[in-house]
Chain A
Amino acid sequence: DTGVSQDPRHKITKRGQNVTFRCDPISEHNRLYWYRQTLGQGPEFLTYFQNEAQLEKSRLLSNRFSAERPKGSFSTLEIQRTEQGDSAMYLCASSLVQGRWMDTGELFFGEGSRLTVL
């Protein structure tokens, strides 16, 4: 399968623990996005990368959250000292953008990583 893959699909952790999610985008895609979605809501933007450069980071992202895309391929999203409010589905999407940097292109989403913080 050459779609976007996310790992793990489900994570249950205790408050205060650190968690890391991984996203493998479609191989030729230069853009990679992270979103968070809670029940009954639409996805909320967290951050995005163009190749290895992190171009934007949402104000929603506290300093407990960090994301990397070291070689412009896969990306990791780490949450330190998790809180119950971090419980959500974390979605990754990728796209190919050529030309204007403010375009997003057609997004291809992974299945998401569901986090439950007890």
Chain B
Amino acid sequence: KNEVEQSPQNLTAQEGEFITINCSYSVGISALHWLQQHPGGGIVSLFMLSSGKKKHGRLIATINIQEKHSSLHITASHPRDSAVYICAVNRGSQGNLIFGKGTKLSVKP
């Protein structure tokens, strides 16, 4: 079993829908990252959080440390949100990240 699991693996939505991507992890962490990867490979950091909730524009990330779970929400989804969303955790005992396999999101107009 991977230390970081994401669900769903693939997600198709209609423009305007509210989207939730989930991330569960099995190790103690000091921080969790949400990343966005577009076709062609470029990765952009969306959020880094260790507790509570963060919001940036239409994106919201939450984390529950006790339940070892995080969610990424996209409100009023748009076709330009189509990308792979990756969850990654820092175990806190090492200075590097463990990545999930990603959730491929496709938003149809």
Contact = CB atoms under 8 A, between A and B. Distances in A.
Contact of A101 (B35, B86, B95): B95
Interface residues of B, number: 26
Nearest to A42: B99
Given A42-B102, A45-B98, A56-B95, A103 B33 contact: no
Contacts of B90: 102-104
Contact of B30 (A33, A37, A102): A102
5 contacts: A42-B102, A56-B95, A91-B41, A102-B93, A107-B33
Nearest to B47: A106
Given A97-B95, A101-B95, 17 more contacts: A40-B101, A41-B102, A43-B88, A45-B98, A45-B99, A56-B95, A91-B43, A102-B30, A102-B90, A102-B94, A102-B95, A104-B90, A104-B95, A107-B33, A111-B41, A111-B42, A112-B41
A89 B43 CA distance: 12
Interface in A77-118: 89, 91, 93, 97, 101-109, 111-112, 114
B79 interface: no
Given A108-B45, A109-B43, A45 B30 contact: no
B16 interface: no
Nearest to A45: B96
Contact of B92 (A56, A102, A112): A102
Given A107-B45, A109-B42, A111-B41, A56 B99 contact: no
B44 to A, nearest CB: 7
A111 B48 CA distance: 20
B31 interface: yes
Contacts of A108: 45
Contact of B40 (A40, A104, A111): A111
A89 B97 contact: no
Contacts of B43: 43, 91, 93, 109
